[in-house]
Amino acid sequence: MGIYSGKKILVLAGKPIGSEDIVKYARESGAYVIVTDNLPIENSPAKKIADEHWDISTAEVEKLCEEIKKNKVDAVFTGIHEFNIWKTLDVCEILNYPFYATRDQLQNTSVKTEYKQLFRDFGIPVVEDFTITQNDWETQNQEIKYPVLLKPVDGSGGYGISICYNEEEFKTGFEKALESSKVKKVLVEKFVKAKEVTIFYIIQNGKIKLSAMADRHTENGTKYTIPLPVLYIFPSIHLESFQENFNEKFIQAFESLGLKNGMLFIQAFADDGKIIPYDIGFRLTGTQEYHILEALCGYNPLKMLVDYAITGEMGKEVAHLADPKLGGKHAFIITFLIKPCKVGEFIGLEEVKKMDGVIKVIKNHQLGDEIPESATGTLNQVILRVLGAADSRSEMKELIKKIIGKIEVRSDQGNSVILPTINIDEL
């Protein structure tokens, strides 16, 4: 008998990262868990471990509401995918169920033009940009200084992003970004090359606390595609400077939106003493750093958000546990990327799971999954994440090297498909 015994929770979408963690926690807590999406069960990992599954698309809000009422479901939640977050909000508004964010808060933290203006209002530097629609791009692109980065104003996951060096490439990149934008607007930014960080906040009962900050190391970009993350190291070497110069500004900016509960992440450039945000999300993240926070700090934002969906509260107070220095530990997330292929074999995973210091080994794709050419330059290329921690930076680097040396992924043709990871000796 768990704390949610007798409760039913519906999880929207069983494939995105984190969906299995949501189902596992809810079931361990005694809840009866249903997962819905329009995928067959073999392509929807969270469906396989749920008590029940529905084959209703997450887009069918009206039908979902009918089934929720008919089946006496008590709560609705979802993982990291922004489309499903909006649909979950729709359902919760109709049924008057708890949801951690309001419509305005999601708008202000998911549309790039909205949150960039928010940061400007609070004295936080942002990358130079302007927005173009289909009607005005021909006049505006005359003034562009190349290279530029084009991205959908409301996109995520690396989809629809291009680096452009001339007008012809701009035209192609514009169409690509437009295709990925629901609101049919494209953001044009100055292309910046700089070190990167990811910043995490936990929000509970109106208190916004810095929970973690990582150096985000990227590789495998091309002239035309953005590099993707291969390693996160906690705490960031920029943490102290950030806490002194920027943390309060970010907190004040988010307080102005009236955020009460949830978690939030910021991806930013660390350049010449400045933290320059380029993307944020008021949601769980694909990095799944919540496993590190649970292991080292004693709280888990994913579990807290499931609690909120069921009870309207994020459980016990954790403000005193939020420690971006992680109690003096050094933590990491290795992100393994693969070339487009059909996944054929994983090697070394069981050995790595047994290593001292390894917190979690997470598959993003399963055997037989197809990574298409169109996934190049997007987070769909992430095949595995390995999370771990050590007592010192030098011990952490040695552990990372051991893990990288053990893991291999092969295609169904038997070829090695892992892309180069970082040279840890250069850090």
Return the structure tokens found at 305.
């958000």
pLDDT, tens digit (0-9, with 9 covering 90-100), for 52-108: 999 999 999 999 999 999 999 999 999 999 999 999 999 999 999 999 999 999 999
Q: How far is CA 135 from CA 173, 184, 203, 386, in A?
A: 16, 10, 40, 45
% of the chain beyond a pLDDT of 70: 96
Q: Is the pTM of this model over 0.95?
A: no
Q: What is the pLDDT of residue 422?
A: 83
The 8 Å CB, 24+ separation contacts for 322-326 are 322/202, 322/209, 322/210, 322/211, 322/297, 323/211, 323/297, 324/210, 324/211, 324/212, 324/213, 324/235, 324/239, 324/243, 325/235, 325/239, 326/212, 326/234, 326/235, 326/292, 326/296, 326/297, 326/389
The residue behind tokens 């596992």 is 24
pLDDT, tens digit (0-9, with 9 covering 90-100), for 224-279: 677 888 999 999 999 999 999 999 999 999 999 999 999 999 999 998 889 999 89
pLDDT at 137 over 80: no
Are 268 and 276 in contact by the 8 Å Cβ rule? The answer is yes
How many CA within 13 A on the CB side of residue 340? 7
pLDDT, tens digit (0-9, with 9 covering 90-100), for 290-321: 999 999 999 999 999 999 999 999 999 999 99
Q: What is the pLDDT of residue 285?
A: 92
Report the range of poorest mean pLDDT among 68-77, 182-191, 380-389.
182-191
At position 29, the amino acid (one-letter code) is S
The residue behind tokens 């109106």 is 206
Q: How far is CA 38 from CA 15, 77, 80, 182, in A?
A: 10, 17, 17, 20
Q: What is the pLDDT of residue 94?
A: 98
pLDDT, tens digit (0-9, with 9 covering 90-100), for 327-371: 999 999 999 999 999 999 999 999 999 999 999 999 988 898 999
Q: What is the pLDDT of residue 113?
A: 82
Could you tell me which of 385, 322, 306 has the C-alpha nearest to residue 77?
A: 306
In degrees and rounded to multiples of 5, residue 88 shows phi and psi of -65, -40
Return the structure tokens found at 59.
């887009």
Local confidence band at 131 (pLDDT 50, 70, 90 cut-offs): confident
pLDDT at 143 over 90: no
Average of per-residue pLDDT across 385-394: 97
pLDDT at 391 over 70: yes
In the chain, what are the domains?
Answer: 8-99 (3.40.50.20), 128-190 (3.30.1490.20), 195-426 (3.30.470.20)
Q: What is the pLDDT of residue 142?
A: 60
Return the structure tokens found at 420.
């180069």
Could you tell me which of 267, 242, 391 has the C-alpha nearest to residue 328?
A: 391
Average of per-residue pLDDT across 179-187: 82
Nearest-angstrom CA–CA distance, 397 and 75: 42
More confident residue, 165 or 154: 165
Return the structure tokens found at 268.
């930013």
The residue behind tokens 């958000």 is 305
Q: What is the pLDDT of residue 379?
A: 83
Mean pLDDT of the chain: 92
pLDDT, tens digit (0-9, with 9 covering 90-100), for 365-379: 889 899 998 888 888
At position 214, the amino acid (one-letter code) is A
Using DSSP's 3-state secondary structure scheme, residue 177 falls into helix
Q: What is the pLDDT of residue 317?
A: 95
pLDDT at 133 over 80: no
Max Cα-Cα span within the chain: 66
pLDDT, tens digit (0-9, with 9 covering 90-100), for 161-173: 888 888 888 888 8
